[in-house]
Structure 1
Amino acid sequence: MSLDLLAALLVAVPLASAAVLLVLGRATDRWGHWLGVLASAASFVIGAVLALELLGRDAEARVLDVTLGRWFDAGQLAVDLGLRVDPLSITFVLLVTFVGTLIHVYSVAYMEHDASRRRFFAYLNLFVAAMLLLVLADSYLLLFVGWEGVGLASYLLIGFWNHNTAYAVAGKKAFVANRVGDIGLIVAMGLMLAATGSVGFTQVHAAAAGGAVSEGWLTAIGLMLLLAACGKSAQVPLQSWLGDAMAGPTPVSALIHAATMVTAGVYLVVRSAPVFDGAPTAQLVVVVVGAVTLVYGAVVGCAKDDLKKALAASTMSQIGYMMLAAGLGPVGYAYAIFHLVTHGFFKAGLFLGAGSVMHAMADSVDMRRFGGLARYLKVTVVTFGLGWLAILGVPPFAGFFSKDKIIEAAFVPVDGQPWRAWVFGAVTLLGAGVTAFYMSRLFFMTFFGRPRWDVPEEEARAATARAAGARTAGANASGAHASGAHAAGHHPHEAPALMRWPMIVLAAGSVALGLVLATTGFTTWLEPVTGHAEHEEPVLSVPVITTLTLLAVGAGLVLAYLRYVRDEVPVAAPAGSPLTRAARADLYQDAVNDAVLVGPGRALTGGLVVADRTAVDGAAVGVGRLAVGSGALARRVQTGLVRSYAATTLLGVVVLAGVVLALQA
């Protein structure tokens, strides 16, 4: 089978499966979910075959452009329908299809009792197909088609249970926020056409690398690409949709956060490396956005009691690490993708673990109502715990090999500016410590401590009083009663096998994937796309950076242990400090959006409506009224009486005669 056909089938198979499930409808209810699983698995097998083909070639021959035919001609612009198979795209293909297939398998059991399971799998297949098109496209225009497909699929899946108004609104919020980012990609393509006459990767990147495009043009293009990336990857200032996206079924959260949507922005920046290499200002803005989002997500994660929203904040922060690395240029491109791949495994495992907890706790996501679940969910606590150690960056787990490389790269001076190394290096260290705290908080509150899921409200208030220091005998008696009451309502139980096995496989990746990729030359594999980075020494030695990182992680872990294992966790959330209250409200991101965008937007719209009614409609209505009035006046002389017409004619003759006589005189 030719490489062209294999590349086309990567996208065609899941897309065809989605079409079958949607067109045949209820006829596929009994087997449609397995068709969805098979389609995703088939794309993984095809991707693996293509990966082996690339591995058998020399590095310089690992970029294959597949032309499927002419897409359209518009004046002097001719765009082919083409795919690019290279180390970067195939890395994403393998991640999307492998992790996506595991999520499909998990969903068979998770959605077992949903009447619309067949439609759910159609949307999952559509999501996978759109993401594969996005990463395989050989032009920004075809990438945009996949980009919009991912946006559509996310809207359908986030709002899948749209009978709940809040869930439907969450899907709409994600859709609208991403459309704002899409404006950036559209404008970027317009600038590319103006500067290079093309939107193809080959032409645009060659012009950027060859000096045919000025730095000013490249900066403008880079900033617009960054705006697009912020929308898809939930980076500041377009991050507000990500927490609300947890409204969708948990497998959707895993797919969005681990393998598809939020990774698209990082892909776009790394794929556009020649553009950013020629635009140092745009690169610096990418680093700043990544650094701000890294801290933002970590701070928000510290205050969330909703299990899934805490993990969503974690994703935002980890994507911030990747974006920061991508902004560092050649020294960071490969590390951004390295961390993206390991994150895909441990974050998918964490989300699926969250789904297992929800399955055991009647869909509850309130961590303050958990505790002590480790004794009931033995497989879940082990797999979740391995993902937790991976995201913390504890050696030898996956995150240690990928995230620590980003921290080391952040300490490398750029363009002879050591201040950047100290500032961004310190931010990455801070992020590592805060990540250890909020992820340990999540892990401990869920699986350890006293069971809190059946504590009555009055006892919850007593628990809060104890946490504030009012440790009275009555409060202690209340706590003892709560400990014995936990089994009265909920009966936590482990998830079925179809949910457990994907978590086990992802946990294995959380343990070993980082070491495997680090020792098999993963960053070298990416060099045909990311370029070869000359080794530069960071401002601190690598052993010192590693030591500082592990100390920060250890400090965060110990602090979380003291707060959420040694001390009793209040069932009712205490008021907290102003920062805690702000973090619970996502640092008031929605309030800021309302003040900066929504409010002025409504005022502008209202003003335009008034102007339209008074000026535009007024002018149109005025012309109409003038015509009607003129007609009314003319109608008065059309009486239908012969004598009136004769009199009018006589009057006209007299006036005309008078005019003639006056002229002769």
Structure 2
Amino acid sequence: MNYTAIILIPLIPLAVFLVLGLFNRKIGPGVSGLVGVGGMLVSTLLSFYTAFEYFMVLGKVSGAYPTLVESTVWMNFTETLRIDMGVLIDPISVMMLIVVSTISLMVHIYSRGYMKGDEGYTKFFSFLSLFTFSMYGLVLATNLFQIYIFWELVGVSSYLLIGYYYTKESAVAAAKKAFIVTRFADLGFLIGILLIGYYTGTYDFETLNNPEGATLTHWAPASFMGLSVLTWGLILIFIGGAGKSAMFPLHIWLPDAMEGPTPVSALIHAATMVVAGVFLVARLFPMYFFVEEGFALQIVAFVGAFSALFAAVIALTQTDIKRVLAYSTMSQLGYMMLALGVSGYEGSQGLGYMSSMFHLFTHAMFKALLFLCAGSVIHAVHSNYLKDMGQLRKYMPITHLSFLVAALAIAGIPPFAGFWSKDEILVAVYQQNTFLYVVGIFVAGLTALYIFRIYFGIFWGKDNTYEHRPAESPASMTVPLIVLAVLSATVGFIPFSEFISPDRAGFDAHIDIPMAITAVAVALIGIGIAWMLYKKESGLATRLTDRLGVLYTWAHRKFYMDEVYLFVTKNILFKGIAAGAAWADRKIVDGTMNLIGNSTVLFSKKIKGMQSGRVQDYAMAFVSGTVILALLFIYLWTS
């Protein structure tokens, strides 16, 4: 492997970030856009070269896909416990290089048109490059602490991009919300890292993931509340992943994050950052599977299934098209977690793991396409809301066809990409848990319904009287749409199981015809319902929502999760815990310090007369002291 090329992949966007960030007032918008796109293009080419070399050359020579590590010691604690910095190359890290590179390049190209005329144009491209560098570092990390460092850099990047419109109050609030919620989750991640490092003696992924190594079979038998410490560590690490991947109940930041520019939504909240949690569980999958018979993995499965269903129901009721897509992302990430949670390890038993990574790959293409199409629509009508849209297919044919391809892909209609990966997920779940399969197939129907609800609402529906006639977006925006549409229609044909599996040996996967027919039939029912309710303007949808009454209201209000968090924050954290802590800080900590200070001042007032500056006073003190010492000496001598 060419490690120089691999190391250059993250270093190029880092260099672009530094150049554009340091000289953003001196570099014009035209140049900064070209620098950003040019740097991303080089990293993308190097990523594809790395993938070709690893899968097509190295894999054929070795007969299996090895784990390659090139690292150097950064911090040394003991003979075994140390933190390295380097790159880890294996099937899922190479796959993620392709995902991050492809989506980031398309977003960079798209942003040249979407952000044209923006005052912070150069700054925006520097932030994009910082985010891309952080994601590259995350997927190439060799150990838990290295991934944690880049995990937090991703958080910083998302904070900067979500709050990019810093003069807009809602954008600032959304950035803070995303940062704070994910910090709580990342505290769990950090504690989990420390637990695993302490009890296994290593942070190294290659050692931790060796199912036959001493790490998993001879670790200290410590336990807490009936579970081993390693299981608790894995659960805590999953909490960090759940925060980043917006799993229930740590999902509340994701819809608000749509306040950032739409290219940001496509890059961070659809294709790369939010899948970091899924990638984290996949990176540690052998540990999740082998430690205590996969107890932590069962938690992953049920949290993923509930999140998928919960988000899909909410998506049906939202009127902001970007928020619909945000909840859609949460639902699809739930699918990925569910698939990981039911997966085995060896050979075809690893179908769940493979299908999760496959869906991560295909989802990146069609979800980025959905967001960029949404940005194209918003760019044309200057609104995020369905009520301000309708019949746009007449004015925006490229955007319309691209959105339709993405909608068919996410709905799981063959031969589009989402069909292949979602079918494999449903087969894997069916083999392990019938109840979770029923949840998964129901969510598939809801997915088709909510995505075609907004498709018909945007491009069909009512014929709005637009203040300004909508027009198709410029080529800088439509070319990425076309590229992603082609990918969304074709990447499902990749024989993914030959490249990605838990044991890295690969296996043959085949379409389960009865399962596929069932899933497609459910999706077509969802599309049919959307056709009847939303293709033409009618009162049918309104009458249906009125009949649902409180159920619709609860879903529309996102089941009041924001209100629950506000209540807990204000009444328990602020008025309870924080108020008590503030009293203790004010009365005890500050009071003790004030007492020491005041006592010192009072004591100094009492004794300051001893330094009056008068010679006779000093002479009197000297003589008196001498007499007292003399008398004391005589007394001690005579006694």
**With structure 1 as the length reference, what TM-score do the two structures score?**
0.85
1:90-112 CA distance string (max 9 Å, x none): 11101111121111111111111
**Inter-partner Cα distance in structure 2 for 1:17 and 1:182:** 28
Partner of 2:452: 440
1:557-572 matches, within 5 Å, as: 557-568=527-538
1:34-433 matches, within 5 Å, as: 34-54=34-54, 55-56=56-57, 57-58=59-60, 62-76=65-79, 77-206=81-210, 207=213, 210-213=216-219, 216-279=228-291, 280-330=294-344, 331=350, 332-362=352-382, 364-413=383-432, 421-433=433-445
- Please state how far the C-alpha of 1:554 moved relative to its aligned partner: 2.1
Query: For the structure 1 residues 638 and 218, does the alpha-carbon distance in structure 2 shift closer, same or farther, using more than 3 Å as the test?
Result: closer
Corresponding residue to 2:572 among 593, 600, 603: 600
**Inter-partner Cα distance in structure 1 for 2:48 and 2:133:** 16
1:589-641 CA distance string (max 9 Å, x none): 21122233454221312211111211222222223333444444456798879
Partner of 1:617: 590
8 Å Cα contact 1:196-1:203 kept in structure 2? no
Gaps of 5+ in 1: 414-420, 453-485
Query: For the structure 1 residues 501 and 636, does the alpha-carbon distance in structure 2 shift closer, same or farther, using more than 3 Å as the test?
Result: closer
Query: For the structure 1 residues 65 and 599, does the alpha-carbon distance in structure 2 shift closer, same or farther, using more than 3 Å as the test?
Result: farther
- Please state how far the C-alpha of 1:219 moved relative to its aligned partner: 1.1
**Inter-partner Cα distance in structure 1 for 2:623 and 2:107:** 92
**Inter-partner Cα distance in structure 2 for 1:208 and 1:587:** 46
**Inter-partner Cα distance in structure 1 for 2:136 and 2:84:** 18
| 3-state SS of paired residue (1:269) | helix
The amino acid across from 1:244 in the alignment is D
Partner of 1:547: 517
- Please state how far the C-alpha of 1:528 moved relative to its aligned partner: 6.3
Partner of 1:460: none
**Inter-partner Cα distance in structure 2 for 1:188 and 1:100:** 30
Partner of 1:464: none
8 Å Cα contact 1:346-1:390 kept in structure 2? yes
Which piece of structure 1 moves more, 76-85 or 255-264?
Answer: 76-85
- Please state how far the C-alpha of 1:27 moved relative to its aligned partner: 2.3
Corresponding residue to 1:581 among 517, 532, 553: 553
8 Å Cα contact 1:4-1:68 kept in structure 2? no
**Inter-partner Cα distance in structure 1 for 2:502 and 2:44:** 22
Partner of 1:504: 482
Counterpart check, 1:18 vs 2:32: no
- Please state how far the C-alpha of 1:381 moved relative to its aligned partner: 0.8
8 Å Cα contact 1:65-1:138 kept in structure 2? no
Gaps of 5+ in 2: 222-226, 345-349
Query: For the structure 1 residues 644 and 261, does the alpha-carbon distance in structure 2 shift closer, same or farther, using more than 3 Å as the test?
Result: closer
**Inter-partner Cα distance in structure 1 for 2:541 and 2:529:** 19
8 Å Cα contact 1:369-1:571 kept in structure 2? no
**Inter-partner Cα distance in structure 1 for 2:214 and 2:327:** 35
8 Å Cα contact 2:343-2:428 kept in structure 1? no
Query: For the structure 1 residues 649 and 24, does the alpha-carbon distance in structure 2 shift closer, same or farther, using more than 3 Å as the test?
Result: closer
| 3-state SS of paired residue (2:484) | helix
**Inter-partner Cα distance in structure 2 for 1:529 and 1:13:** 32
The amino acid across from 2:491 in the alignment is L
**Inter-partner Cα distance in structure 1 for 2:502 and 2:242:** 26
**Inter-partner Cα distance in structure 2 for 1:558 and 1:370:** 21
The amino acid across from 1:108 in the alignment is R
1:534-554 CA distance string (max 9 Å, x none): 999xxxx94443333223212
The amino acid across from 1:19 in the alignment is L
**Inter-partner Cα distance in structure 1 for 2:618 and 2:480:** 97
**Inter-partner Cα distance in structure 2 for 1:205 and 1:621:** 54
8 Å Cα contact 2:402-2:482 kept in structure 1? yes
| 3-state SS of paired residue (2:431) | coil
- Please state how far the C-alpha of 1:68 moved relative to its aligned partner: 4.5
Query: For the structure 1 residues 545 and 624, does the alpha-carbon distance in structure 2 shift closer, same or farther, using more than 3 Å as the test?
Result: same
Cα root mean square deviation, aligned: 3.2
- Please state how far the C-alpha of 1:259 moved relative to its aligned partner: 2.8
Counterpart check, 1:526 vs 2:504: no
8 Å Cα contact 1:321-1:428 kept in structure 2? yes
- Please state how far the C-alpha of 1:644 moved relative to its aligned partner: 13
The amino acid across from 2:218 in the alignment is A
8 Å Cα contact 2:84-2:146 kept in structure 1? no
Corresponding residue to 1:626 among 589, 594, 599: 599
Partner of 2:224: none
**Inter-partner Cα distance in structure 1 for 2:583 and 2:502:** 57
| 3-state SS of paired residue (1:568) | coil
**Inter-partner Cα distance in structure 1 for 2:319 and 2:582:** 43
| 3-state SS of paired residue (1:25) | coil
- Please state how far the C-alpha of 1:450 moved relative to its aligned partner: 1.7
8 Å Cα contact 1:294-1:320 kept in structure 2? yes
The amino acid across from 2:307 in the alignment is T
Query: For the structure 1 residues 111 and 646, does the alpha-carbon distance in structure 2 shift closer, same or farther, using more than 3 Å as the test?
Result: closer
| 3-state SS of paired residue (1:294) | helix
Number of positions where the alignment pairs a residue of Structure 1 with one of Structure 2:
613
Partner of 2:526: 556
Query: For the structure 1 residues 503 and 637, does the alpha-carbon distance in structure 2 shift closer, same or farther, using more than 3 Å as the test?
Result: closer
**Inter-partner Cα distance in structure 1 for 2:611 and 2:359:** 87
The amino acid across from 2:532 in the alignment is L
**Inter-partner Cα distance in structure 2 for 1:648 and 1:26:** 72
**With structure 2 as the length reference, what TM-score do the two structures score?**
0.89
